[in-house]
Structure 1
Amino acid sequence: MAHPSSALAPAPVPGHTFSGTLGHHLARRLVEIGVSDVFSVPGDFNLTLLDHLIDEPELNLIGCCNELNAGYAADGYARAKGVGACVVTFTVGGLSVLNAIAGAYSENLPIICIVGGPNSNDYGTNRILHHTTGLPDFTQELRCFQTVTCAQAVVNNLDDAHEQIDTAISTALKESKPAYISISCNLSGIPHPTFSREPVPFFLAPKDVEAAILRFSYRVSNYLGLEAAVEATAEFLNKAVKPVIIGGPKLRVAKAQKAFIELADASGYPIAVMPSGKGLVPEHHPHFIGTYWGAASTSFCAEIVESADAYVFVGPIFNDYSSVGYSLLIKKEKSIIVQPNRVTIGNGLSLGWVFMADFLSALAKKVKKNSTALENYRRIFVPPGMPLMREKDEPLRVNVLFKHIQVRTEDELTAAIATVTGEQKDSICFIEIFAHKDDTSKELLEWGSRVSAANSRPPNPQ
Structure 2
Amino acid sequence: MTKQRPKTDTSAVNVADYIVARLAAEGIDHCFGVAGDYVFPICDAVDNSAKVKWIGCANELNASYAADGYARIRGAAMLATTYGVGELSAMNGVMGAKAERSLVFHVVGMPSYQHQRLHKIAHHTLGDGVFGNFVELSAGAACCHAVINPENCVVEMERIIAEARRNNQPAYIAVPSDYALSPVVSADVKPIVPKSNEAALQKAMAIIAERINKAKSIVAFPAFTISRLGLQKEAQKAIEALGCPFVTTLMEKCVIGESHPQFAGMYAGAVSEPKTRKIIEGADLVLDLGGVNLNDITTAAYSGQLDLSRFVTVGLDDVRIGDQVIANVRLEDILSGLAKLKPSSAPYKGKPQGLAQVNGRPSDKITMAALYPRYAAFLRAGDTVILETGSSSLGVTPTILPDGVRVEAQVLWGSIGWATPAAFGVALADPSRRTILITGEGSHQLTANDVGAMGRFGANVIVFVLNNGGYLIERALEENPDWTYNDVAPWNYAELPKALGCANWYTARVTTVGELDEAMKAARASKTGAYIEIVGGKMDMPPALAFAHGQLQAMYGDTP
Specify the TM-score bucket, using the shorter chain as the normaliser.
0.7 to 0.9
The alignment status of 1:158 with 2:150, answered yes or no, reads: yes
Give the letter aligned to residue 322 of structure 1: T
Give distance in 2, aligned partners of 1:282 and 1:227.
30
Give the letter aligned to residue 335 of structure 2: L
The alignment status of 1:319 with 2:295, answered yes or no, reads: yes
Please list, as runs of the form range in 1=range in 2, the aligned pairs for 1:164-203 lying within 5 A after superposition: 164-192=156-184, 194=185, 202=191
Structure 1 residue runs without a partner (length 5+):
1-16, 205-215, 391-395, 434-439, 454-462
1:96 to 69, 77, 89: 89
Please list, as runs of the form range in 1=range in 2, the aligned pairs for 1:447-462 lying within 5 A after superposition: none
For residue 244 of structure 1, report the CA deviation from its aligned partner.
1.3
> What secondary structure does 2:264 align onto?
strand
Please list, as runs of the form range in 1=range in 2, the aligned pairs for 1:217-256 lying within 5 A after superposition: 219-223=195-199, 225-252=200-227, 256=231
Please list, as runs of the form range in 1=range in 2, the aligned pairs for 1:230-379 lying within 5 A after superposition: 230-252=205-227, 256-297=231-272, 300-315=275-290, 316-345=292-321, 347=322, 350-371=325-346, 374-375=348-349, 377-378=350-351
Deviations 1:286-326 (A, max 9, x none): 21223222134367422332233332221222333333333
After superposing the two structures, state which structure 1 stretch, 280-289 or 251-260, moved more.
Answer: 251-260
Give distance in 2, aligned partners of 1:111 and 1:202.
18
Deviations 1:373-393 (A, max 9, x none): x45x53xx8766746899xxx
For residue 98 of structure 1, report the CA deviation from its aligned partner.
0.6
Match of 1:443 in 2: 544
Percent of aligned pairs with the same amino acid: 26
> What secondary structure does 2:85 align onto?
coil
Deviations 1:147-194 (A, max 9, x none): 221222223x433344344433343233322111222223333335x2
Give the letter aligned to residue 355 of structure 1: R
For residue 24 of structure 1, report the CA deviation from its aligned partner.
1.7
Alignment CA distance shift 1:182-1:332 (3 Å): closer
> What secondary structure does 2:260 align onto?
coil
Match of 2:45 in 1: 52
| Runs of 4+ with >6 A deviation | 410-414, 448-451
Give distance in 2, aligned partners of 1:397 and 1:170.
57
For residue 444 of structure 1, report the CA deviation from its aligned partner.
4.9
Alignment CA distance shift 1:348-1:128 (3 Å): closer
Give the letter aligned to residue 443 of structure 1: A
For residue 26 of structure 1, report the CA deviation from its aligned partner.
1.7
Alignment CA distance shift 1:122-1:332 (3 Å): same
2:17 to 24, 40, 44: 24
For residue 250 of structure 1, report the CA deviation from its aligned partner.
2.7
Match of 1:7 in 2: none
2:242–2:341: 8 Å Cα contact kept in structure 1? no
Instruction: Provide TM-score, normalisation by structure 1.
Output: 0.72
Give the letter aligned to residue 217 of structure 2: K
1:342–1:355: 8 Å Cα contact kept in structure 2? yes
2:73–2:228: 8 Å Cα contact kept in structure 1? no
The alignment status of 1:85 with 2:78, answered yes or no, reads: yes
> What secondary structure does 2:152 align onto?
helix
Deviations 1:408-461 (A, max 9, x none): 2179999xx999x9xxx9x9946569xxxxxx863354458989x9xxxxxxxx
Alignment CA distance shift 1:43-1:307 (3 Å): same
For residue 66 of structure 1, report the CA deviation from its aligned partner.
0.3
> What secondary structure does 2:108 align onto?
strand
Give distance in 2, aligned partners of 1:303 and 1:110.
35
> What secondary structure does 1:186 align onto?
helix
For residue 273 of structure 1, report the CA deviation from its aligned partner.
1.6
For residue 254 of structure 1, report the CA deviation from its aligned partner.
5.6
1:38–1:60: 8 Å Cα contact kept in structure 2? yes
For residue 201 of structure 1, report the CA deviation from its aligned partner.
6.9
Give distance in 2, aligned partners of 1:244 and 1:342.
20
Alignment CA distance shift 1:301-1:182 (3 Å): same
1:273–1:281: 8 Å Cα contact kept in structure 2? no
Match of 1:115 in 2: 108
1:294–1:329: 8 Å Cα contact kept in structure 2? yes
Give distance in 2, aligned partners of 1:57 and 1:79.
23
Give the letter aligned to residue 144 of structure 2: A
Give distance in 2, aligned partners of 1:84 and 1:291.
30
Instruction: Provide TM-score, normalisation by structure 2.
Output: 0.61
1:52–1:188: 8 Å Cα contact kept in structure 2? no
For residue 253 of structure 1, report the CA deviation from its aligned partner.
5.6
2:146–2:174: 8 Å Cα contact kept in structure 1? yes
Alignment CA distance shift 1:66-1:450 (3 Å): farther
For residue 85 of structure 1, report the CA deviation from its aligned partner.
0.5
Give distance in 1, aligned partners of 2:355 and 2:43.
53
After superposing the two structures, state which structure 1 stretch, 177-186 or 359-368, moved more.
Answer: 359-368
RMSD of aligned Cα (Å)? 4.2
Give distance in 1, aligned partners of 2:228 and 2:151.
34
> What secondary structure does 1:290 align onto?
strand
> What secondary structure does 1:134 align onto?
coil
After superposing the two structures, state which structure 1 stretch, 114-123 or 230-239, moved more.
Answer: 230-239
Match of 1:207 in 2: none
Structure 2 residue runs without a partner (length 5+):
1-9, 380-433, 439-461, 463-493, 495-504, 521-540, 555-560
Give distance in 2, aligned partners of 1:57 and 1:241.
57
Give the letter aligned to residue 48 of structure 1: P
Give the letter aligned to residue 188 of structure 1: A
Alignment CA distance shift 1:450-1:277 (3 Å): farther
Alignment CA distance shift 1:189-1:292 (3 Å): same
